[in-house]
Each structure stands twice: as C-alpha cells, then as structure tokens.
Amino acid sequence: MKKTKLIVAIVSVALILSGGILWASDHADAPNVKTKSTDITDLYVFQGADVNNLVFVGNVQGLMSPVTTQTAAFDENTMIEFKIDNSGDHVEDLVIQCVYKGGKMYIYGPVKPGTTGLSSTVMGTAIVAVAVTPYTATTPIIASAYGITAFAGPRDDPFFFDLDQFHKITGGTATGFVDPGTDTFKGTNVMSVVVEVPKSLLNSTGKIDVWLQTKQKV
C-alpha cells in the first residue's frame, strides 16, 4: 500500500515534470544548455594521488557515442570555470578558468576573480596551457607548471546509473530497480578538463565549497 502510494507519487511527479525528464547527473538538464558546448555533465573534486593536491574535474558535452566523439571539440567561445568559496558565504573567493584556443586549453588561477557571479573576465595570463588530447591518442597529453597539472580532451563518462530502469519506475511499468542494473552511460564519452592544484593555493581553513559554471562570449 505504502509502496503503491509512493509509486503513484513518483508517477505524478514524472507527469508534472513531463517533457522527457532525464535524471542523469546534470546531463542535458535545461533547455538553454541542452546539446550545447555549455552543457555540464558533472563536477568532481577529490584529493589527488599526491595528498597535498586537490583534483578538479569539469565534464561537458555528455552522452557522446564513439563516432560523435571523433569530431567533438571544445568551444573557443565557452569558458569552463571552477568557483571556489573558502569562507563559507557561498560567494567565490577564487576561480580556476579554463579557456580553449587554437588547440590548447589555457588554465588561469586559482586566482581572485575580477567580479563574482555569472559574468567572468579572463584573469591575467595562463599558468599552464595544455594541448587537447586527440581522440585517437593512446596516452593523455599532460602539462604542468608551478605545481599545477592540466589535461583536456575526450574521456569515458565517469558517471554511472541505470537510468532506463529509473524511467520504467517513473513511467509506472516497474516498481523498483533490478539486480544487477545496467549502466545507461556505458559506452558514452564527455569532453573533460582536469586540473590538479596544490591545496596550499586554495587559502582553505579545512573546507571549501566548489561549483562549476560555463559561460560564453557575447
């Protein structure tokens, strides 16, 4: 009974959301970014192999098949920007800006932004520029400077979820997940930027809050 009520609730929510909901991570989350170079799939931030570092991963342009990935590219008009709050007020104190130009991804920061919020100006000169790793490369291209290491290029989408079964649940044709589930994101790729940064550059007192934005030139 309780479960039935729950399923009914889920179905009604699905109907309210309608228009082909996609509970991915942030893949194709909103009309204004769907299928564009600004569409973020996921943000990851974790301690590096060197525990003195944090790794920032920003992924965009999800759900790409291998064929699509062959011709996928970053967009010179799109900035991928990590926002970092180290004071607990949910306003960014530092940013790491990633801007693609002429085959390379230029990395700026961590640096204090010119202004906080939605509009961003490229700050200073790049601390490191890394050539985008081609789809066919057997080893990733990596560049380092001042303790900061960078990668940019196509990668397997690290996100995993049985989205199809979830759709069956919300659609009322299933009452729960199955075991084992099936990873709907198996075999799909993203365009990824990975930046590893010494923790000492983040002015942290133990905790930071991070969010990822994309934005375009006018």
Partner 1 sequence: MKRNVYISIGVCTLIFVLGACETNSYDTNPTDPNTGAVFAVSGDQVGRPGIATVFVGTADKDNFNVTIPSVMNAAYQTKFEAQLQAYNSGGFTTNALTLDAAAFTGVLATDVLGVKTTGKTTYYDGTNVLTGRTLDDDVIDVSLILIFGGPTGASNPTLISDNVDSNDKAFSASFPYEAAPW
Q: Which of residues 3-22 bind partner 1 (CB under 8 A)?
A: 3, 5-6, 8-10, 12-13, 16-19, 21-22
Bridge-based pairing of strands 148-156 and 53-64 is unpaired
Q: How far is the CB of 171 from partner 1 (least distance, A)?
A: 14
172 is an interface residue for partner 1 by CB under 8 A: no
45 is an interface residue for partner 1 by CB under 8 A: yes
93 is an interface residue for partner 1 by CB under 8 A: no
Q: How far is the CB of 152 from partner 1 (least distance, A)?
A: 9
176 is an interface residue for partner 1 by CB under 8 A: yes
| Residues in Cβ contact with 47 at an 8 Å cutoff, skipping those fewer than 6 apart | 53, 54, 55
Binds partner 1 (CB under 8 A): choice among 63, 96, 126, 132:
126
Q: Give CA separation, 124 vs 15, 65, 91, 103, 150, in Å.
A: 48, 36, 21, 20, 18
Q: Which residue type is seen at 139?
A: T
189 is an interface residue for partner 1 by CB under 8 A: yes
3-state secondary structure at position 31: coil
Q: Give the phi and the psi of residue 74 in degrees, each rounded to 5.
A: -75, 165
Q: How far is the CB of 155 from partner 1 (least distance, A)?
A: 4
Buried b vs exposed e over 20-49: b needs ≥16 C-beta within 10 Å? eebebbbbbeeeeeeeebbbbbbbebeeee
185 is an interface residue for partner 1 by CB under 8 A: yes
94 is an interface residue for partner 1 by CB under 8 A: no
Q: How far is the CB of 172 from partner 1 (least distance, A)?
A: 14
165 is an interface residue for partner 1 by CB under 8 A: yes
